[in-house]
Amino acid sequence: MKRNSLLLAALVSALSFSVSAQELDYTEGAVSQVTAIQITQGHQDEYLAYLRKEWKPSQEALKKAGIIADYSVYSTTPRTPNDPDLYLMVTYANMAALDKLDERADPVTAKFTGGRTKESKGVSDRNAYRKILGTETVRELKVK
């Protein structure tokens, strides 16, 4: 019985070594959150002014503080009435960068947004002419 236990332990050890020694075909890269925005017709200039005056300075401050790696805005041509007009993308170094994000980001962005209360009012005001269709988190896989 003791011998069978030793053989089983050796087999499990060998199998776990071969799995851990196996090389993956990729490495995990940066993580991005992509938000799809639909703007009510006639309000694109108004929304882009908000992005320039408030969103971009906040993102720049977060980037300077090392909280985000990068950010960008993409325009798109909606294929249907339910599709977005813009994508906002914020990129983080890795998935761990999302841990306690608000705790770290709020003090950095407060001077641009006026804090949570003022920011909530701004969100409400912008919701009159834009709709957030959703946010997706994607991770880059660097294929070797």
Q: Is residue 117 assigned to a domain?
A: yes
pLDDT confidence of residue 89: 98
Bridge partners, residue 59, by sequence: none
Q: Is residue 139 assigned to a domain?
A: yes
Task: Give the CATH number of the domain where residue 64 resides.
Answer: 3.30.70.100
User: What's the domain count of the chain?
Assistant: 1
CB atoms inside a 10 Å sphere around CB 102: 10
63 contact partners, CB below 8 Å, separation of at least 6: 69, 70, 71
Q: How far apart are CA 42 and CA 44, in angstroms?
A: 6
Q: Is residue 67 assigned to a domain?
A: yes
Q: Is residue 4 assigned to a domain?
A: no
- What does the pLDDT profile of the chain (144 residues) look like in tens digits? 555 555 555 555 655 555 456 899 999 999 999 999 999 999 999 999 999 999 999 999 999 999 999 999 999 999 999 999 999 999 999 999 999 999 999 999 988 877 777 777 888 889 899 999 999 999 999 999
Q: What is the SS3 assignment for 138? A: strand
Q: Is residue 96 assigned to a domain?
A: yes
Give me the domain span that covers residue 61.
26-143
Q: Is residue 15 assigned to a domain?
A: no
Q: Is residue 12 assigned to a domain?
A: no
pLDDT confidence of residue 52: 97
Q: Is residue 63 assigned to a domain?
A: yes
pLDDT confidence of residue 14: 55
